[in-house]
Every structure is written in C-alpha cells, then in structure tokens.
Amino acid sequence: MGKVQASAEGLVHAPAEVVYGYLANMREHHPKFLPPAFSGFEVESGGVGAGTVVSFNLSAGGRTRRLRNEIAEPQPGHVLTESDTSSSAVTTFTVTPADDNCTVRIASEWNGAGGIGGFFERTFAPRVMRGIYADQLSRLDAYAAEQLGRS
C-alpha cells in the first residue's frame, strides 16, 4: 500500500481573493463549476469555508462512490482542503496570485490499496483524476469570467 497522488494546475483569469471565495463557498458557487464526474452535491452543514461538511457522488474509472468531506482552511485565502470522512483522501485547493489573475492547483492524495488492485489504482487513478481536475479548472475559469462579466 502506498500513497496515490493526482493533481492539475491552471490559470484562472480572475483575482485570487475572488477565486478563493468561489472555491470556499460551497452553497452559492462551488457546485456551479463542478464537472459531470461530480453529482448529488449537498451541503450538510455550514456552507462557506472551514467547518463546512459536503457530500457528493464521484464517478471515476467506471465506479461511482459517495463521499462526505469536511472543509478546512489551513491558510485562509490561499489553501482550502476537503478531507473524506471515511478514508485517507485529502484534496487541497491552492490559490496563488498571478498579477490580476491567479493559479489554482487541485491536488489529492490517499492511501492506495495493496496487491494487484493497488497497482492498477496507482497506475490509472492519477490520470483519471488529473483529467477531472483539468476540467474543473477550465469550468472555474469560465465561471469566474461569467461572474465578472468577461464572458
């Protein structure tokens, strides 16, 4: 059993503080730029930033799994995490200013399975998740443009 990691990074054409606000606001903004791999998104408690609890379905690699994540803000305005309550999976959103825009990195890490299943997980899951995250970053950029009247 080893760590499995997947990430994607992209430029979002909006100020870092605005983009971070979209990521942290699980009620009004975050669900609006999720790719089709995410469905059934629900806010169980809270709604904005640390302490929020969300649940959703994630379809990846031919499997659909229901996840329940707790939100934390290790560096408010810069780093937000979603930790799965029933596994070791943690997804980190890092927003870095870049002039009037920002760079957003989505990175997940979890303890992979052992044996042959773990081999396939370590081989294929990062590529699948990287594609999902790249789609999410593209949707976030388009959503920011729409919200800021730049579409």
- 63 confidence band (pLDDT: 50, 70, 90): confident
Helix H or strand E encompassing 143: helix 115-147
- 87 confidence band (pLDDT: 50, 70, 90): confident
Q: Round the average pLDDT of the chain to a whole number and report it.
A: 89
- 117 confidence band (pLDDT: 50, 70, 90): low
Could you tell me which of 129, 109, 98 has the C-alpha nearest to residue 15?
Answer: 98
107 phi, psi to nearest 5 deg: -135, 130
Question: Helix count (H) and strand count (E) of the chain?
Answer: 2, 7
**Is 96:103 a contact under the CB 8 Å cutoff?**
yes
Domain span at residue 22 reads 3-147
Euclidean distance between CA atoms 140 and 106, whole angstroms: 12
Please compute the mean of the pLDDT values over residues 83-98 and round it to a whole number. Answer: 93
Q: Is the pLDDT of residue 60 over 90?
A: no
**Is 30:120 a contact under the CB 8 Å cutoff?**
no
**Is 95:20 a contact under the CB 8 Å cutoff?**
yes
Tally of domains within the chain:
1
Please give the structure tokens belonging to residue 53. 């609890």
DSSP secondary structure of 105-142: EEEEEEEPP-HHHHHHHHHHHHHHHHHHHHHHHHHHHH
Tell me the CATH number at 20: 3.30.530.20
